[in-house]
Structure formats: structure tokens, C-alpha cells
């Protein structure tokens, strides 16, 4: 009989503990319920000073929570009150304001809706694809992201890579849709000198500090 009473007491404790844990889970879920989750991939966050600067810039968004930043992968995420209806465009604008280039963005809205954006869609028309190598000036991972984004913004470009060590870009594109010169112009417009096109001085000056490469003498 005594054994049974102990057993009952233990069962009571177990039930109470389970209830408490359950209630805490519900509260936590409700706390998260009113928050939109933002995930932005920002390539080239290799320097902690720059990365923490991006985080600092987002502190301007009052109410921001759960800011996480992975410098190695460039993954930047945070939660924001759903009632403030923060848009993808506003987030990407803030990333650019901090001097970075957003590559992809994703929002998981509190109501379950998912919004996604990719910086550039690859050309579907690969007819007559050619691959060229070209020198493009730049310094760092952020430069790489900007150069890639500029090149991919040109219709017909299917693949792009840039080596910050030797400054060489390898680009594949549909020769019937675009030309190497058009791609170079797009890159120069983004602030990077190429072998044949020079970036405007104002655009160059506007690049983040770490991107101020040694200019290509013409």
C-alpha cells in the first residue's frame, strides 16, 4: 500500500512536469508566432568588422530579434514583428546600404507564407554558349559577390566565377544573346574595372572600404 502511494506521488510529479514543459512549449511557440523570419545570404562576409557592421545596420530596425550571422557562409538571419510588415525590398535595401550585395533572400511569414528571391535567374537559352576569361579588378569576397551579380544580371550569362587571387573571371554566355563587352560594361557599372572598361570614379568611391582595389591602369 505504501509502495502504491509512492508510485502515485511519482506519477503526479511526472504529470505536473509534463504539463509545465507543455505549457512552456506553447508559450514559446506563441512568442514566435507573431514574428516573421528573414534569411538573407550575403556572400563575402569574411571580415568580422564588416559582418558586425551589417548586424549593426540592422539594429536600426527596432524590434529586431534573434540576429544570427555566419561569417563563413554569409548566412544572415533575424526575426521581426509580423505586424510591421517588413518587405523583402526593404531588407535587401538595408543590406546594400551597409555596403553588401544580397545574393538570395527568404522570408517565412508568421502566417506560414514563404517569400523567396534570387538575385539573378540563369539564362534558359544556352544556344551557342561560349566561355571566356577576362581580368576584373577586385579584392575580396564582397567584390566577388558584386562581380558575379553584375555579370549574371546580363541576359544570356549562364555561369560566372572570379578568382580573387589572380583577378581572372571565367564567364559562360550565349553569344547570340550577349557579348563579352556587354558583360564587362555591366561589371564596370557595378564599380569594377575590367580589361576594357573602367568603373566611374563615383561608383568606385562608393564601394565598401575593403573593396577598394588597385585600379587597372589604362
Residue 135 to residue 162: CA distance in whole angstroms: 9
Select 47 or 88, whichever has its Cβ closest to other proteins: 47
Find the shortest distance in angstroms from Cβ 214 to other proteins.
8
Find the shortest distance in angstroms from Cβ 198 to other proteins.
19
Select 47 or 110, whichever has its Cβ closest to other proteins: 47
Instruction: Give me Rg for the CA atoms of the chain.
Output: 25
Find the shortest distance in angstroms from Cβ 85 to other proteins.
26
Which three cell numbers, joined as nine digits, stand for 118?
534570387
Residue 54 to residue 79: CA distance in whole angstroms: 15
Select 106 or 212, whichever has its Cβ closest to other proteins: 212
Residue with cell 560594361: 185
Find the shortest distance in angstroms from Cβ 59 to other proteins.
8
The residues binding other proteins (CB under 8 A) are 46-49, 52-53, 55-56, 59, 71-72, 139-140, 209-210, 212, 214
Task: Give the CA distances from residue 161 to residues 20, 50, 153, 169, 195, in Å, rounded to whole numbers and listed in that order.
Answer: 54, 23, 14, 6, 16
Residue 191 to residue 202: CA distance in whole angstroms: 9
Find the shortest distance in angstroms from Cβ 62 to other proteins.
15
Select 123 or 139, whichever has its Cβ closest to other proteins: 139
Find the shortest distance in angstroms from Cβ 96 to other proteins.
17
DSSP string, 156-175: TEEEEEEETTTTEEEEEEET
Select 55 or 159, whichever has its Cβ closest to other proteins: 55
Helices (H), 59-111: 88-97
Using CB atoms within 10 A of its CB, is residue 217 exposed (0-12), middle (13-18) or buried (19+)? exposed
Residue 71 to residue 43: CA distance in whole angstroms: 9
Select 26 or 209, whichever has its Cβ closest to other proteins: 209
Amino acid at each position: 500500500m505504501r509502495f502504491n502511494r509512492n508510485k502515485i506521488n511519482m506519477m503526479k510529479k511526472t504529470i505536473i512536469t509534463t504539463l509545465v514543459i507543455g505549457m512552456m512549449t506553447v508559450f514559446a511557440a506563441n512568442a514566435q508566432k507573431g514574428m516573421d523570419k528573414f534569411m538573407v545570404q550575403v556572400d563575402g562576409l569574411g571580415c568580422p568588422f564588416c559582418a558586425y557592421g551589417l548586424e549593426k545596420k540592422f539594429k536600426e530596425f527596432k524590434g529586431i530579434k534573434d540576429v544570427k550571422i555566419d561569417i563563413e557562409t554569409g548566412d544572415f538571419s533575424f526575426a521581426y514583428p509580423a505586424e510591421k510588415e517588413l518587405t523583402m525590398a526593404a531588407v535587401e535595401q538595408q543590406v546594400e546600404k551597409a555596403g553588401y550585395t544580397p545574393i538570395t533572400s527568404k522570408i517565412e511569414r508568421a502566417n506560414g507564407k514563404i517569400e523567396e528571391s534570387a538575385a539573378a535567374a540563369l539564362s534558359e537559352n544556352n544556344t551557342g554558349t561560349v566561355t571566356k576569361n577576362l581580368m576584373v579588378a577586385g579584392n575580396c569576397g564582397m567584390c566577388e559577390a558584386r562581380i558575379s551579380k553584375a555579370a549574371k544580371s546580363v541576359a544570356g550569362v549562364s555561369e560566372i566565377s572570379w578568382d580573387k587571387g589572380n583577378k581572372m573571371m571565367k564567364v559562360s554566355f550565349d553569344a547570340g544573346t550577349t557579348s563579352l563587352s556587354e558583360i564587362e560594361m555591366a561589371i564596370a557599372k557595378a564599380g569594377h574595372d575590367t580589361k576594357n572598361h573602367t568603373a566611374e570614379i563615383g561608383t568606385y568611391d562608393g564601394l565598401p572600404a575593403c573593396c577598394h582595389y588597385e585600379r587597372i591602369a589604362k
